[in-house]
Structures are given as structure tokens and as C-alpha cells.
Structure 1
Amino acid sequence: MRKSENTQMALRLSNGESATLENFFEPPSGVVVQSIQRFFTASEDTVFSICGASAQGKTHLLMAACNGFRSEKCFYLSLREYADFGVHVLAGLESFDVLCFDDIDAIAGQPEWEEALFHLFNRCRERGCKWLITSAEAPSQTPFLLPDLKTRLAWGECVRLPELDEVQRINVLDIKAANIGFRLSDEVKQYIMRRAPRDLSSLSLILERLDKASLVEKRPITVPFVKSVMNW
């Protein structure tokens, strides 16, 4: 793997250094965080899958896993972002303790990638390396061409992220704002929720933009300020 690619992957991970399992929001009935913790500490499974719609927090969970288990050698790779680089990016990854593959379904239907992942999985299993993967659907429902790859990815537990309702999205706003270092009034939260896209990634980007603008202009985050910054 070329040095520039390693650098880009490291930067991708550094952008998620604030992600933790503790600041991931899930409904009271949610079991995702508990299941991930069990996978790392007690499970003998090689693979754990997280599925769900886009921008529901799957990447956050992978980043959180890398941040939370620093005693392990952990490697994050977005297959949607790096599929065009070719399968050579997988070389030697079995030397890690944990591999986090985001959007593994992005390479479904690509024989070279599927074959390479299949052989990497077998090498990892021999060495005790765990896989934490995300996709839109469960591995058993993902259109992989290689049956053996689909079977192996479906060996472990798979959890689906639920779509959040309005109240839960507001709770996410509170958590993300607190992580950045500020609070939002109820009026501002309601205004953002009426105007912003519904996905969690967009909400995060909006909060980061508001935080930077507030620091530059030295102004509190009010409804008029949000309206001005976001051009709403």
C-alpha cells in the first residue's frame, strides 16, 4: 500500500476520534452498543455486522470501536471510498487485531474484490482477527456473487439500526452539540429540525458549521444566527 493511501486512511480515522460508544444515541430498547461490546470482550465470533439505512450512525460505530478498543490493533477502511484503489489495499491487513469495513456491500458483485475479501477473511480467522462490518442489508441479503463469502460474513451476529423518530433526532442534536462543546436552546433545535435534512450525517455537518461560524463571529447560536449561516 502506498504511503499516500495510508495517510488518507489515517486522516479518515482521525476525523472520527470524538466518536465513542457512549455518545452513540440509540433508543432505550436498543442493543447495538451492548452487542458490540460483547463481541469484543466475550464473543468467539470472527465477524459482527451492522446494517441499516444510510447516515444512521454505522460509521460512527466503527470509529467508536476503533477509539474504544485502543489496546487492539484496529484498522478502518471504507470500501465505498476505496473500492477504486484496487484489492491491493487489503494486503497484510490480517496482521491487525480488528478490521472495520464500512459499506462492505459497495463491492458486492465485483468478483476480484469478493475473492480478495474471502481469502483475507480466512487468513484473519486463522490469526484471530475480528471483523466489524457495515452494510445496508444483512450479509445474507446482500447480493454477493461468491457464495462462500456471503456464508462467512453471515456467520456472526447482525444487528439493524432503527430509524429514529423526531424526539430521538432532537436527542441526537443535543448529544452532538454537547460533544462539540455548546448547547442548543429548544427554539433553535426545533428550527433546525424543521429545516434540516433528516439524516444524522447532515445534522452533524450543520452543527459543525454553526460552531465554526459562532467562534469566528463571536455570536451565540440563535435562530436568526442559524438562519443567516445556513441561508435558510
Structure 2
Amino acid sequence: MNHPKQLNLDVKLDGAIKLENFIICPSTEIILRASKEFISGSNTTRTFFLWGREGTGKNYLLHSINREFLEKKLHSAFISFSHGPLDSPSVFDGLEKLDVIFIESMEQFPSVTEWELALFNLINACLLSESRILISSKVTAKELEIKLPDLKSRLLAFPAFELPEITEEEKFMAMKEAADRKGLMFEDNVLSYILTHTSRKLSDLLSLLNELDNYSLEKQRKVSISLVKDLISNK
């Protein structure tokens, strides 16, 4: 198959991206259970619609699920609309021959006839084969701007799971666990300051931890509230 550059087959993943490292807390219990059922290959969970607000961890979850398939020596395709339109709907041609297909940022999917028909045909082909398909979006399937009724119906039939915004306490624990995994030393008061004085998005909070670690090495200073303030003021 000759695919445009936006299609990643058996994409190489960051070693830190693992399902076991995803935030485990009461808010994510249902989505993690559903993810594991999808990975297991149950006939009842061969389709999966994941939705949630920006910054809740959808991208991380998709890539960590993909890792599980790749570690089983299965073949996947990862298609993202997060950076705008792709070259051609032919990107979907023949993908049902793979083990699993990931489609990211469905809210930016082009709602034109050629694309909608191509996706509808792919979903039908996947349902007839052993292939699985996971779609992520910032909005529910019902809210997608899909004009083709048959495609809309297909997407609404996908088991849908929301990745919710986790609580402030859960964000604190997530940052603490992420820092511990990387061997980073962050005092609780520093984490509390970050949580109350920076972005509310978990993805931004976790990225800031890495920035702080690098900044502290660069400045040869211990991570502290003062260092956090300096980093934020220089961004």
C-alpha cells in the first residue's frame, strides 16, 4: 500500500508511554477496564469510541494501547487529523488487513462525501474481518459533523467511553507518581504550587515536570517554588 506521510504504520513509541503508567484513579477505572478489554480481542469490544476534553490524556492512552498491540507483534495504523486534513481518503484503503486501526482527533475529520464514504467502507470492512478500530475525539459521536447518515449510525453504534477530567487530588497524585517514576525529587509544596498556579490540563502539568527537571539541571538549583516561578516567568 502506498500511503501518505500522515499515516504511521507500526509507529515507534516513546519508551515511557505504557498503559501501566496511565493515571490509575477512581475517575479512570472504567476507561482503563474498557481499554484492556479492547486489547484482549473480545468480539464484543472490537470497536471503541474514546472522547474527552483536550488535555485529559487521550493521545497518551491511544499510544499506550497501540504499544500493547505492537508488543504482541501485531500490526497497527495510526491516523491523526490533529494537524488538519490529510492528502486523500485513499489513506484508508486496505487498512482492514491490519490488526488494529487508530484514528485520532475525529472532531477534525473532513465532513465531505469522499472522506465519509471511505471511512464508512473501512468500518464495514473491519467489522467483516478480524481488525479492530479505535477512534478518539474531543466530542461525542453524536456531536460530530457527519453528513452521511449511514456513517453517523455506524459511529453511534461504537461502544463509547469518556475520558473525564480528573479531580484536583487525582492530578496531584498523578504528578507525584510521574515524578517518582522518573526519579525526580519534587516536594509536595512544589507540586501543590504547580497545581494551583499553572495550567489545569493534566498533559500540561506533566510536561511542566520535565521542563522543571531540565531547568533545575541547567541552573544547578534544587527544584523549589522559587524555581517554578522563574521558569514560568521566562516562558
TM-score range, shorter-chain basis?
Answer: 0.7 to 0.9
Do 2:17 and 2:63's aligned partners in 1 also have CA atoms closer than 8 Å? yes
Shift, 1:17, TM fit: 3.9
1:104-119 → structure 2 map (5 Å cutoff): 104-107=106-109, 109-119=111-121
Corresponding position of 1:152? 154
Counterpart of 2:112 in structure 1: which amino acid?
Answer: Q
Please point out which of 161, 180, 185 is paired with 1:178.
180
Shift, 1:153, TM fit: 2.0
Give the alignment's TM-score, normalised by structure 2.
Answer: 0.85
Shift, 1:108, TM fit: 5.4
Shift, 1:69, TM fit: 2.3
Shift, 1:91, TM fit: 3.2
Identity among equivalent pairs (%): 28
Corresponding position of 2:50? 50
1:100-139 → structure 2 map (5 Å cutoff): 100-107=102-109, 109-139=111-141
Specify whether residues 93 and 82 from structure 1 end up closer, same or farther in structure 2 by C-alpha distance, changes over 3 A only: farther
In 2, distance between residues paired with 1:137 and 1:153? Answer: 12
Residues 162-207 of structure 1: CA distance to partner in whole angstroms, max 9, x if unpaired? 2222111111212332343313211110111122111122112212
Task: Identify which range, 135-144 or 181-190, moves more after superposition.
Answer: 135-144
Shift, 1:16, TM fit: 4.4
In 2, distance between residues paired with 1:10 and 1:183? Answer: 37
How many aligned residue pairs are there?
Answer: 229
In 1, distance between residues paired with 2:56 and 2:131? Answer: 26
Residues 137-157 of structure 1: CA distance to partner in whole angstroms, max 9, x if unpaired? 332342311111122223231
Specify whether residues 108 and 210 from structure 1 end up closer, same or farther in structure 2 by C-alpha distance, changes over 3 A only: same
In 2, distance between residues paired with 1:87 and 1:209? Answer: 38
Residue 62 in 1 paired to residue 62 in 2?
Answer: yes
Q: Secondary structure at the match of 2:42?
A: coil
Do 1:18 and 1:179's aligned partners in 2 also have CA atoms closer than 8 Å? no
Shift, 1:14, TM fit: 4.1
In 1, distance between residues paired with 2:174 and 2:140? Answer: 25
In 2, distance between residues paired with 1:165 and 1:43? Answer: 31
Corresponding position of 2:32? 33
Counterpart of 1:63 in structure 2: which amino acid?
Answer: H
Unmatched segments (≥5 aa) in structure 2: none
Give the alignment's TM-score, normalised by structure 1.
Answer: 0.86
Task: Identify which range, 129-138 or 21-30, moves more after superposition.
Answer: 21-30
Residue 167 in 1 paired to residue 169 in 2?
Answer: yes
Counterpart of 1:77 in structure 2: which amino acid?
Answer: I
Task: Identify which range, 132-141 or 14-23, moves more after superposition.
Answer: 14-23
